[in-house]
Amino acid sequence: MNKSIPVLAIDGPSGSGKGTLAARIAAELGWHLLDSGALYRIVAAMAVRRGLDVEQEQTMCELAQSLDIAFPDGRVRVDDLDLTDEIRTEDIGVMASRVAALPAVRAAILELQRNFAQAPGLVADGRDMGTVVFPHAGLKIFLDASAEARAERRYNQLKNKGLSVSLRDLLEQIEERDARDRERATAPLKAASDALLIDSTQMTIEEVCTTVMQAATQRLL
Ligand code: DC
């Protein structure tokens, strides 16, 4: 791992807004972006395509190692397939959380994630960016929000896409996924001891971006 490349690590539960935050900060700084959740989603989606059992650790590990993954112009390309939309469904999200609980899969994609640290810098978003993948990151953010606020944001996103969903079901799914991500033995979702904690429940995305850009200017630039 090249520790001279500056890294901004953003961790937090699903729906906290970290994906949007990471993309905006990366664009503002002109840095590379790693959406690490997409990697677990890709493994889950490819397992579904190939009819593999996502609970089989060795099989999932071999699958993760065999994939040729690239993110050209914000799209998701795996081998010769475009999986940009396919990996974003709720079902794949739930399966990705099961795949992400397998230590062998996490180990298999560790180097792949670290290779995203290229000049002039990297904004990495996930659950263990500051704790496991980039423990030397110059700035670590832990972005949280209440489960209710996160369910409501997701509900509005899906509604805007014309999809009909139940807010109560979404809240249940979010709480279930949180529990699995926080309680797993390997690389559980938790704030690094040196992370800047931000609770976005009552904040707009603009307010969160301003806070993070101020911290980035002080600590990274
Ligand atoms: O952020 P997301 O919803 O795209 O992530 C999908 C799943 O992958 C989520 O349940 C948690 C898991 N994940 C993880 O365990 N570690 C990461 N660094 C990123 C995501």
pLDDT digits 0-9 by tens, 71-83? 998 899 999 999 9
For residue 2, what pLDDT is reported? Answer: 80
- Quote the tokens at residue 173: 């799914």
- Return the ligand 1 atom nearest residue 14 CA: 3
The finding on whether 11 has its CB within 6 A of some atom of ligand 1 is no
The finding on whether 109 has its CB within 6 A of some atom of ligand 1 is no
Distance between CA atoms of 150 and 13, rounded to whole angstroms? 9
Packed helices 205-219 and 18-29: angle between N→C axes, nearest 10 degrees: 50
For residue 14, what pLDDT is reported? Answer: 87
User: Domains in the chain, start-ordered, CATH in brackets?
Assistant: 12-216 (3.40.50.300)
The finding on whether 44 has its CB within 6 A of some atom of ligand 1 is no
3-state SS, one letter per residue, for 172-209: HHHHHHHHHHHHCCCCCCCCCCCCEEEECCCCCHHHHH
Q: What's the predicted TM-score (pTM) here? A: 0.94
Does residue 37 contact residue 129 with C-beta atoms inside 8 Å?
Answer: no
For residue 15, what pLDDT is reported? Answer: 87
- Would you give the DSSP letter of residue 89? S
DSSP H or E run through 143: strand 139-144
For residue 161, what pLDDT is reported? Answer: 87
- Return the ligand 1 atom nearest residue 180 CA: 10
Q: Spell out, as residue ranges, where the chain has pLDDT lower than 70.
A: none
Beta bridge partners of 11: 126, 142
